[in-house]
Amino acid sequence: DQQVKQNSPSLSVQEGRISILNCDYTNSMFDYFLWYKKYPAEGPTFLISISSIKDKNEDGRFTVFLNKSAKHLSLHIVPSQPGDSAVYFCAASVRGAQKLVFGQGTRLTINP
Amino acid sequence: GAGVSQTPSNKVTEKGKYVELRCDPISGHTALYWYRQSLGQGPEFLIYFQGTGAADDSGLPNDRFFAVRPEGSVSTLKIQRTERGDSAVYLCASSSDRGSIEAFFGQGTRLTVV
């Protein structure tokens, strides 16, 4: 039972354009969502998060949008840079439960 | 070091053997997590420690898996009678307080059971 789903295994975007990574979840108890970025042979690195009381959170080039009614969130990266090429994981948690449920990841490639 | 350190980076073991994977969290971090990442999947939660105690071990797949954190710092994940299906990258993470879910991950230990 995959509670957090990233349906696009890969995404290729031109440098300077917008990258949009999508994530869907099924558990309505999730109230905190995070995006992690992972380079090869390294552990995941926290990127940005959003609480369920918000519908948008922005940090520099990164913006996360949350649509609770659709149980959908997305990560926007603009402008995309070659260093953004990595695997991006969406993760969710339930208040009080100190564990994350991860999606399968999306490999983002930024082409020069 | 400043980050979460995991040793060894790679471990190859024969089916049926016992293995120990070590995690050194960021100094002062009270919360420690173990996750397992299989090929093509996202990390899956195994166990969470708050201090020395396992606050949530609901992700451990069976009783062959066990983890300890005796002094509230270093943690060891122990796998008995390893099986080929245990092959994965084992990730450790730590965070600074009980309420923070934004954990810092180590680079992982790649376990291969042959």
Mean per-residue pLDDT for B103-110? 95
Q: Which among B101, B103, B104 is the nearest to A32, CB-wise?
A: B101
CB A90 within 8 A of CB A103: yes
Whole-number Å distance between alpha carbons of A53 and B35: 27
Chain A neighbors of B106, CB-CB under 8 A: 43
- The 10s digit of each residue's pLDDT in B42-78 is 999 999 999 999 999 999 999 999 999 999 999 999 9
Whole-number Å distance between alpha carbons of B14 and B37: 20
Contact B93 A43 (CB under 8 A): yes
Which two tokens mark B69? 């954190």
pLDDT band at B99 (very low <50, low <70, confident <90, very high): low
Question: For residue B16, what are the contacts with CB-CB under 8 A and spacing of at least 6?
Answer: B81, B82
User: Would you state the pLDDT for residue B42?
Assistant: 95
Whole-number Å distance between alpha carbons of B46 and B28: 22
Mean per-residue pLDDT for A43-49? 95
Mean of the per-residue pLDDT values for chain A? Answer: 95
Cis peptide before A79 (omega within 30 of 0): yes
CB B79 within 8 A of CB B18: yes
Contact B41 A104 (CB under 8 A): yes
Q: Looking at the predicted structure, is the pLDDT value of residue A85 above 70? A: yes
Contact B101 A42 (CB under 8 A): no
User: Would you state the pLDDT for residue A109?
Assistant: 98
A50–B contact, CB cutoff 8 A: no
Whole-number Å distance between alpha carbons of B99 and B107: 23
Mean of the per-residue pLDDT values for chain B? Answer: 94
A39–B contact, CB cutoff 8 A: no
Other CB atoms within 10 Å distance of the CB of residue A32: 18
Contact A45 B103 (CB under 8 A): no
Q: Looking at the predicted structure, is the pLDDT value of residue A35 above 90? A: yes
Q: Which among B31, B40, B105 is the nearest to A44, CB-wise?
A: B105
Which residue, A41, A104, A86, is CA-closest to B38?
A104
Q: Which among B41, B45, B108 is the nearest to A43, CB-wise?
A: B108
pLDDT band at A96 (very low <50, low <70, confident <90, very high): confident
Whole-number Å distance between alpha carbons of A53 and A100: 18
Would you report the helix, strand and coil content of chain A in percent, each value rounded to 5?
Answer: 5, 55, 40
CB A45 within 8 A of CB B105: yes
